[in-house]
Structure 1
Amino acid sequence: MNAIIALCHFCEAHGPGPLFCTQTLRETNIHQLDIHFDSERKGCPACNSIGNTTGLVSTDPDSNAHFVSSQVPVIPETIELVKKAAFRSISSEVSSASATTSTGSATTSNSDGCGLVFFGDAHRGHVLSCSFQLADSESRGFSKLFSIVILMKDKMFLLNIQPFLADCLTKIAKELQDYARTVYDDNLKAQGSQRAQRITQGYVNNSSTTRSLVDLTKKEAIFAYLHAHFSYVLWAGARYLTESIALGSPSVPPWLGRDTEEGFTMVQTDKEGYLMRRMGLAKSEELDRLDERDMAKYSLRMFRQALKGDFEAVCFCVLTGIQIVIRAPPVKGRCLVRNLKKLLPEPLHKLARSHAESYKSANECRIINLSQDAVAPNPSAGIMRIDLVDDKARDTVAVCVWEGELPLRSPKLLQKIMKAVDEELFTDLVLDKHMRALIEEWKNKVVCIRKMSSNQDVSKIKKIMDIQQQDQVLITYWYSHL
């Protein structure tokens, strides 16, 4: 992703400015980079991170991209842009969610003290900013203002991946806040009533107001942690939404990667956060590797032919959260689950089981694949059963039973999916990319609705995004899991 991620702060001696920057470089000799640091800030501990002669570098072997972290941007043309973005993110473009107030013995904040703001223009770049406070027992107001900004020229790309970036920035900010909060609490225990005395007398120890981020968090490798986080955001952001010419292309471009190759993927964890895991080493049943020829043979269109008139009902159940119980041979069952997951945004993929020994309730999973001899519940309005069997000609025969009925007007996303699957000019690769774009579009609509604070605002945003009554059942299901 061609962007710059910068950690910015407000120094009580020098004002707002960037503290630590990470950017993507390609075809650049990183050993010849010359970094210029503002001379008036060089002696300030709070304004220094890793120094003027040090850089942290990570390399992606697939794209040969270097993720370089330094005190200031290594490309001279971007230094002023980052400084202006830092100034605005700290001084004026601050969300009300990041405002804190002093209450008793600790500072509190709304929405965990993390506020997201988008600003910028074509000349100075477009910026997504996440501002937050770090507790500091020796600072004015007992906290310091920080922000993480992402600066890039492509406005539409930045807005399209805003949900992903916002989630990452918020988690990084909360991690820093947790570190600082631990140090803050330890300092309070050691200082005793000193804080109350400072509040009463208005006394500030000026010698300690320029503490560095290492002092605030007590993490010597804090900037190495930030480099790892920022590099991941740049690496994953480029893969979150990719534009490519797919018409007539017979295979997936190598730089996009495949689900069946050894590589990295982002998987959800039980705790809040994300981790990087090699798919070849993952033991989760959700990451069972399928032969590429099987996926090509048992494609979404093949199941469309096998399900015949029931295909639209199957898609409707997937989109609206009605449980689907599949009994099929192992490969066909896993392939069907993989194809049905394409109809859902990634956060809902955890509700699909590619293989299960026994039946699970709808609260645990909405799509479940059982072996052919496993016990399955009877079909109902809330459960659809699909049995895949082979006839003598070795063709797949699908027996689909569901006691529910399709509504008179289907959700618009379902209408677009049916139209795309039936489009003969679409190759399987083009169809997959088109489906992904449709799902991301509706996922972002649901995310926008979640941001609204009142029913009146929800009604307005639905009207703007052309969400009709027939779409509400889909919105309700996705809303509860995004």
Structure 2
Amino acid sequence: MNAVVALCHFCEIHGPRVLFCCQSYHEEPPVHLQVTTSATSAPSLGPVCSPSRLQAPLLPSRSFYGKFDCFAACLQSLTRRNSFDSNCDQQMAPKVQVSSADLSGYLCCETCSACRSVGTTFPGFLVNDHKSRISYVGSQFPFHPEVFTIVRHACLRSLSCEICPGREGPIFFGDSVCGYCLCYTFNVKDFTARGFHHLYSLIVVSMDRLLLLNNYNFFVSSLCAIAGYVQRRACRVFDDEQSRDQERLKQISAIGGGVGGKSLWLQASCFLRERRQSNPAAPRSLPELTGERDVYRKLNRAFVWILRAQMEQCIEVILEGLPDQDQLIELESRHVQRGFVNYLGFDCDSFAPCNAEVHLNDIFTGVLAFPLRGEEPSAHLFGSSSSLSSSSSLSCLSSVVHLTHIARSLNRSSFRLLLYHLLIGNQTVVRSSDGNLARAALDALRLLLPRGCVRQVNFSPEYLECWRCNLLGIGERVALPLATLENPYVLLTIDSRFVDEDDDCGGSGETSFDTSMTSDRLLRCAFETTLCAFSSPSEYPALVNRIMTMVYEGDMSSSVLGKLLYALKQEWVNKAKLLYAMTKQFNNDEATVSRKWRLATRCKEADEALVKFWQAGLSRSFKSYIMSVCSQRQAFTSSSSSSNG
């Protein structure tokens, strides 16, 4: 991961300072795989080349992954700083020299207790992930001099010139030269400080702008959870000190009353005299403010969790060509549900963290829990792309198996009629005593439709009209209205009486949606279709006949059948795209469009009714593109005709 997570503090004496940071070090590739090697490498906030995950179990574990140069340079600087009062073995000292005066000056400058985190004799924390072959190093500053400069620059801006809309909250800033930063500023209470609080900031620094913006919700919710934990601990210490220091509160209230009802705090002489008489205490460190001596150890565990959780959910996926219409519609629906405007216009004062707070609170309480592949908090935060894609492929394969079972449970004529009314957009109602069985059957049927044509209700306590959903699951006791020409439907009944008797004898019950158990039960059920207010068509679309041939006559596995159905669906989606484009081009002249479209695609009238319904499965991006092209063509035509006239 190309990022560094750090905790920064605005010291009353020394100004903005980096208190603690965590960085990941990835293993270097083998020598025979390296194209070029150089002694001086560019600053890296993360991996340069990660080894293959397949080779990781075959390689031996190491105590530290990645280059040891920067790590040894920091140890050498710390050793030279403490060598005046201790005898150290010069032969055991690292031989790497630190060429950056910036880093050396930072180490040798005077600091107070509030500006130190891990101390001078303790270099920091080291966490090794032997499976991914990554080392996470937690220290007061990054070991690479140039990375340290980038982090310190982000620290300075986060605590000075960069201000969020509220007193506390997230803000994004940066450029391609100094790096990009996503920071979360917050205040920590201190009873002895001026204004009774200190300013802190949590920053995530990276040279990759898209990495921070694409994971904005995850980073902000995680940083907000860490800040909330520190604030709660500091608030407890503040309340205890305030309750114990009653005498000082009485003195403050007496001085504030003044003489003659006038406050002496407004007079400069009294303020200066009070400052001279008082003995201001030294700035206190974060362990003193929170009352926890191991607060930096917990922060290191939280930072490691953030770095690893982000890396777990960012996995490369091989795309086989451009995204299809189903994928585009899925992306558009996600944007509508998430609401991009909400991301820019939320109230910083009322910002609430997502489920990252649950995991980070477990870390702070001593349970180090890393995200699991397949875990999906808040529908996006820590889910793994590979696990989600594999689970979707398994569900698709199960739907193909269920569709084949439904087809072979019915006779050919009944299944052909079911396919016809399903593909042209008529409502399909699935009746079952078990909601899980109805959901599995609906998922199998929706496999034949484009994503944009599906309006599915898995299990409803009452009947819903066809304009509300075209795939509906209901119970056995739900009353159905009389079918009319305005509200027709196809009824598919699932007979699970024998399955329920077998389950009762076996003593197994199903209370939740279990994929494997539901699939096994559905494969033992019988099906029956009922056509309401429908008549058999004189001619079926070509798509219905091809699906019938694949299901009944094709001797192929379920995975191959699924790929064939997908390819067949994409073929007819392309025909729907052509029909939509021709409709907009010829200004909705149905006769001309129908004649030209049939001639181009070699389709018949029955196919046209199916394709007209499938136009609802086209994405908004495709429709916008067609409209823009047609408008440009019309503008060009009008301008050409006016110039000729």
Measured against the shorter chain, the TM-score band is 0.5 to 0.7
Q: How many residues align structurally? A: 330
- Tell me the distance in 2 between the aligned counterparts of 1:239 and 1:58: 16
- Specify the structure having the higher radius of gyration (Cα): 2
Structure with greater proportional strand content: 1
The residue that corresponds to 1:233 in the other structure is 306
2:146 to 77, 91, 101: 77
Assess if the C-alpha contact under 8 Å between 2:305 and 2:370 holds in 1. Answer: no
Q: 1:293 to 1:147 in 2, by over 3 A?
A: closer
Q: 1:20 to 1:11 in 2, by over 3 A?
A: same
Q: Secondary structure at the match of 2:231?
A: helix
- Tell me the distance in 2 between the aligned counterparts of 1:189 and 1:210: 21
Q: Does 1:192 align with 2:246?
A: yes
Q: 1:278 to 1:6 in 2, by over 3 A?
A: closer
Q: Secondary structure at the match of 1:97?
A: coil
Q: 1:294 to 1:182 in 2, by over 3 A?
A: closer
1:7-406 matches, cutoff 5 A:
7-27=7-27, 28-29=66-67, 32=72, 34=74, 38-39=106-107, 41-52=109-120, 53-98=122-167, 114-195=168-249, 197=251, 200=256, 201=265, 202=271, 203=274, 207-247=280-320, 268=355, 275=362, 276=369, 296=394, 298-299=396-397, 302=400, 326-328=435-437, 378=478
Counterpart code for 2:318:
I
Assess if the C-alpha contact under 8 Å between 2:185 and 2:200 holds in 1. Answer: yes
Q: 1:61 to 1:198 in 2, by over 3 A?
A: farther
What is the percent sequence identity of the aligned residues?
25
Q: Secondary structure at the match of 2:435?
A: strand
Tell me the TM-score normalised to structure 1 length: 0.55
C-alpha displacement of 1:66: 1.2
RMSD: 5.3
- Tell me the distance in 2 between the aligned counterparts of 1:195 and 1:161: 46
The residue that corresponds to 1:434 in the other structure is none
Structure 1 residues 338-384: Cα deviation after superposition (integer angstroms, max 9, x where no partner): x9xxx9xxxxxxxxx9xxxx9999xxxxxxxxxx9x97773899xxx
Assess if the C-alpha contact under 8 Å between 2:435 and 2:475 holds in 1. Answer: no
1:466-481 matches, cutoff 5 A:
none
Assess if the C-alpha contact under 8 Å between 2:188 and 2:234 holds in 1. Answer: yes
Counterpart code for 1:299:
L
- Tell me the distance in 1 between the aligned counterparts of 2:13 and 2:564: 62
Assess if the C-alpha contact under 8 Å between 1:268 and 1:274 holds in 2. Answer: no
Q: 1:241 to 1:70 in 2, by over 3 A?
A: same
C-alpha displacement of 1:77: 1.4
Counterpart code for 1:143:
H
- Tell me the distance in 2 between the aligned counterparts of 1:127 and 1:210: 27
Structure with greater proportional helix content: 2
Q: 1:394 to 1:137 in 2, by over 3 A?
A: closer
Structure 1 residues 123-147: Cα deviation after superposition (integer angstroms, max 9, x where no partner): 0000001000000000000000000
Q: Secondary structure at the match of 2:162?
A: coil
Q: 1:400 to 1:71 in 2, by over 3 A?
A: farther
Tell me the TM-score normalised to structure 2 length: 0.42
Counterpart code for 1:19:
L
Structure 1 residues 253-281: Cα deviation after superposition (integer angstroms, max 9, x where no partner): xxxxxxxxxxxxxx95996966537869x
Q: 1:211 to 1:270 in 2, by over 3 A?
A: closer
C-alpha displacement of 1:17: 1.6
Q: 1:279 to 1:75 in 2, by over 3 A?
A: closer
The residue that corresponds to 2:52 in the other structure is none
Counterpart code for 1:227:
N
- Tell me the distance in 2 between the aligned counterparts of 1:32 and 1:425: 60
C-alpha displacement of 1:328: 2.5
- Tell me the distance in 2 between the aligned counterparts of 1:7 and 1:151: 11
Q: 1:46 to 1:198 in 2, by over 3 A?
A: farther
Assess if the C-alpha contact under 8 Å between 1:247 and 1:426 holds in 2. Answer: no
More divergent stretch after superposition (44-53 vs 206-215): 206-215
- Tell me the distance in 2 between the aligned counterparts of 1:360 and 1:274: 40
- Tell me the distance in 2 between the aligned counterparts of 1:94 and 1:131: 9
Q: 1:269 to 1:71 in 2, by over 3 A?
A: closer
Counterpart code for 2:116:
N
Unaligned regions of 5+ residues in structure 1, if any? 99-113, 249-266, 314-324, 344-352, 362-371, 402-419, 428-464, 469-482
The residue that corresponds to 1:424 in the other structure is 567
Counterpart code for 2:436:
R
Structure 1 residues 271-313: Cα deviation after superposition (integer angstroms, max 9, x where no partner): 6966537869x9xxxx9x99x8996374386389679676999
C-alpha displacement of 1:193: 4.6
C-alpha displacement of 1:54: 1.7
Q: Secondary structure at the match of 2:159?
A: helix
The residue that corresponds to 1:411 in the other structure is none
Structure 1 residues 203-252: Cα deviation after superposition (integer angstroms, max 9, x where no partner): 5666424100000001111001111111111111123333332439xxxx
Q: Secondary structure at the match of 1:66?
A: strand
Q: 1:421 to 1:83 in 2, by over 3 A?
A: farther
Q: Secondary structure at the match of 1:243?
A: coil
Q: Secondary structure at the match of 1:328?
A: helix
Counterpart code for 1:51:
G
C-alpha displacement of 1:63: 1.6
Structure 1 residues 148-172: Cα deviation after superposition (integer angstroms, max 9, x where no partner): 0000011112101101111111111
Counterpart code for 1:160:
N
Assess if the C-alpha contact under 8 Å between 2:22 and 2:304 holds in 1. Answer: yes
